[in-house]
Structure 1
Amino acid sequence: MSLLYVVLVKAIDIYSTLIVVYILMSWLPGAYQSKFGRLLGTICEPYLGFFRRYIPPIGMFSISGIVALVVLNLAKGGLFSLFRLILNVLY
């Protein structure tokens, strides 16, 4: 059971890192058009697109990426609570 928790938390951590890299690529001209940028776009854009749809940019800045990372962090905390609850019920 704890192995599943560790794998899920690691997956969330890796995905969060990929999102941060994808967001930072916006500072580099032409980075999204590179092969690596297109790959990250394929991975990150469905999740980030959900937040971009509902959170409008403030001036020139979009805070949707920050909100997406906060939600992932909250999901990781919820996952911890869920696994702790399951382990308390089982043992």
Structure 2
Amino acid sequence: MPIIITIINWLLRLLDFYSIILIIYALMSWIPNLYETWFGRLIVKVSRPYLSLFENLPLQIWGLDFTILVALIVLQFVQRFIIIVFNGVFH
């Protein structure tokens, strides 16, 4: 059982880290030249596959794009779901 706890803890940390990457991606939109740096290309390469899942949803309202916000909320729900399932199975 300790190995499962370790795996779940790493998974939750990975989801936290990915949330930070998405926030960095959103902040980079304020300075578009950052997308052309090696760091910007890395952030785009890591974040775009997940964000592309939300492209077909109508998340652009009055010129504002809420795609990243919805993506972050979904990640938080996934984290909470993992915690609830883990607590329900092992406690």
Q: TM-score, normalised by structure 2?
A: 0.89
Q: In structure 1, what is the equivalent of residue 51 of structure 2?
A: 48
Q: Is the 8 A contact 1:55 1:63 kept in 2?
A: no
RMSD: 1.1
Q: Report the Cα offset of residue 52 of structure 1.
A: 2.3
Q: Is the 8 A contact 1:52 1:64 kept in 2?
A: yes
Matched length: 88
1:29 aligned partner: 32
Q: Secondary structure at the match of 1:54?
A: coil
Distance between the aligned counterparts of 1:39 and 1:79, measured in 2? 28
State which of 47, 71, 75 in structure 2 corresponds to 1:72.
Answer: 75
How far has the Cα of 1:50 moved from its partner?
Answer: 1.3
Letter in 1 for 2:87: R
Give unpaired runs (5+ residues) of structure 2.
Answer: none
Report the structure, 1 or 2, having the larger strand content. Answer: 2
| Alpha-carbon shift at residue 53 of structure 1 (Å) | 2.2
**d(CA) in 2 for partners of 1:58, 1:44:** 22
Q: Give me the whole-angstrom Cα distance separating, in 2, the residues matched to 1:74 and 1:83.
A: 14
Deviations 1:41-74 (A, max 9, x none): 1100011111122134112210010000000000
2:27 partner amino acid = L
Identity %: 30
4+ residue segments displaced more than 3 Å: none
Distance 2:13 2:59 in 1: 30
